[in-house]
Amino acid sequence: MVSFAAIKDKVSKHLTTFSTTKLIVLITAVAIIYFLVTAGLGAVRSYQLHQREDRLRNEVQELQVRHDRLQALKDYLNSDEFVEAAAREQLGLVREGETGFVAISSQPVPTPAPDDPHPELWWDILIR
């Protein structure tokens, strides 16, 4: 007959060997999964950064175009050509030696109708 101590030693030896092997496999699997997840997250982060970089480059390009248009408008508004046109149109000024004139319509301008001397009360309008 086999003694209890002998069975215990066999089982203990088997469990120790099995546990060590299992532990090594488990640690290796965890390490592989960790590196795969880290690499995957790094790739996703890299992709996101490239997408953001592209969006920012497009935004910079659009802002540069807008800046150029605004600079051209500023240059025009500061030019003598614009100042003269504004003085003629808005202020009615003329240059020396020029004769200014004002066109007067031959038809009289219609006067607006007078307000109704007896307006209806708001509650009368509301009740109808």
pLDDT digits (tens, 9 = 90+) for 4-45: 777 777 767 766 666 788 888 999 999 999 999 999 999 999
Please give the residue that has the higher pLDDT: either 66 or 128.
66
Q: Is residue 48 part of a domain?
A: yes
- Our count of domains for the chain comes to 1
* Residue 116 located in a structural domain: no
Residue 84 inside a domain? The answer is: yes
Tell me the pLDDT tens digit for each residue of 91-120.
Answer: 888 888 888 777 777 787 777 776 766 667
pLDDT on residue 125: 74
* Terminal alpha carbon distance of the chain: 115
| Residue 32 included in any domain | yes
pLDDT the model gives residue 10: 74
Q: What is the pTM of this model?
A: 0.48
pLDDT the model gives residue 117: 62
Residue ranges making up the domain that contains 24: 4-99
Confirm whether 15 is domain-assigned: yes
DSSP character for 97? T
Domain assignment of residue 85, yes or no:
yes
* Residue 124 dihedral angles phi and psi, to the nearest 5°: -65, -40
Within-domain flag for 123: no
CA gap 114, 12 in Å, rounded = 113
Please give the structure tokens belonging to residue 122. 């708001």
Alpha-carbon span 46 to 38, nearest angstrom: 12
- Does the residue 30 lie in any domain? yes
User: Residue range 74-78: average pLDDT?
Assistant: 94
